[in-house]
Structure 1
């Protein structure tokens, strides 16, 4: 676990913090003493908007008001903004392109790509002034096009292009922007996706993966925090880092 990079409590933003991976990142940072502005969409963290050193904000990739609410929440926080983790995402329904409604392409693109744009719109001013590091969570699907996954593959590929573009635009401001592209993570979402694909025996499915298992949430959360906050990664920007074994 990377310690806070200064003696004062550092600040992080996590969009999609109510999801499994966002929550794992949130837990690690909170335990290490970070201040966190965390977002949720459909699953509120509870009746209170404050949770220890965390401030929870409703964030919807289709809502302009959500972008402004996140910006205001970040701007009211003290301390330097060190890291932004963009973890919002949504799967496709795993149908062939010819049978996938246009509306699904739009909604999946909105969740996986435009959510990153809204996140950046909300934090850009603060990130520039504080020289923050931005880490988007993509997927190996962004480069490994598979049948029956068109909306998700297209959205994750678009996210990769956006990350590289923003990295080039913001380098002059001292902002680093990178993307981690993990393969299958053992999570509730993964089990939902496997069900959509017709997988009835997850253990047998996992056994066919490299190393015979999926990634764990803890492994991916640790890699995200490492890339975004560790001093020995401070040279990198505009990079796409796959997180998978190759057979």
Structure 2
């Protein structure tokens, strides 16, 4: 059965591929993007593929943009829009850290609140938070982004309990390291403020961590998994993919109970 699916941040990466994939399967897709140039690019690409998506600018930090959500009726809401930045938590500029939380946590929750109100009024609906393997795992020098995704995990698990009695489902999708360019941009961002002359974090340690992020999976596999899971009426609360990533996440959680300092 065809669904109406609203997915934020659809201008690039996994969300863009998923928006196209869902539309190809006959679902009605509402695909807002962050900037006006992304609107043009996504419309042209959708037209070239013969797909009909509802595409418009919606920066989730912008109250006027956000108000557009009220105009739409949808069955499933995918809170995907996010930004990424790395760096040592002991030295990351607080302005950068706050900006990550502003987008990935505060504005994301605001979009989910709008969707929740719509779904509670209807007595049904599903909210999916795009989390990450970083929602459970902790990797050195990826702490700023990791902190926001840990917050998303807490938000999702809490809302799942709070909204269940209203007929509203809540879930997360936790991708592993896929080659979308998202992690690469994160690795680059910290070098704009890091200065060996004033920071105590060792440059070579961060460079080594960056190299560890280079072994990426094919995004097409994750997109196929998202296209499969998002429209379903029933599935696991957490969809971690690929299987290797799920295993890593479970091992990391278990390790913390044994860890000593």
TM-score interval for Structure 1 and Structure 2 normalised by the shorter chain:
0.7 to 0.9
Tell whether 2:119 aligns with 1:124: no
Q: How many angstroms apart in 2 are the aligned matches of 1:169 and 1:204?
A: 36
* 1:65-84 to 2 correspondences below 5 Å: 65-72=64-71, 74-75=72-73, 81-84=74-77
Aligned counterpart for 1:227 among listed residues 229, 251, 256: 229
Give the 3 Å change call, closer, same or farther, for CA 226–90 of structure 1 in structure 2. same
Q: Secondary structure at the match of 1:241?
A: strand
Tell whether 2:177 aligns with 1:184: yes
Higher helix share: 2
Match of 1:63 in 2: 62
Alpha-carbon deviation of 1:177?
0.7
Higher strand share: 1
Match of 1:78 in 2: none
Alpha-carbon deviation of 1:194?
4.6
**Rg (Cα) greater in structure:** 2
Tell whether 2:93 aligns with 1:91: no
Runs of 4+ in structure 1 over 3 Å off: 47-53, 193-205
Give the 3 Å change call, closer, same or farther, for CA 60–142 of structure 1 in structure 2. same
- Is contact 1:140-1:182 (8 Å) kept? yes
**Paired residues, what number?**
222
Tell whether 2:92 aligns with 1:100: yes
Q: Secondary structure at the match of 2:97?
A: helix
- Is contact 1:112-1:155 (8 Å) kept? yes
Aligned counterpart for 1:240 among listed residues 222, 238, 241: 238
If the length of structure 1 is used for normalisation, what is the TM-score? Answer: 0.78
Match of 2:138 in 1: 145
Tell whether 2:133 aligns with 1:134: no
Q: How many angstroms apart in 2 are the aligned matches of 1:95 and 1:16?
A: 23
Q: Secondary structure at the match of 1:116?
A: helix
- Is contact 1:40-1:57 (8 Å) kept? yes
Cα deviations across residues 65-105 of structure 1 (Å, max 9, x unaligned)? 22212222x14xxxxx332211111111x221222111111
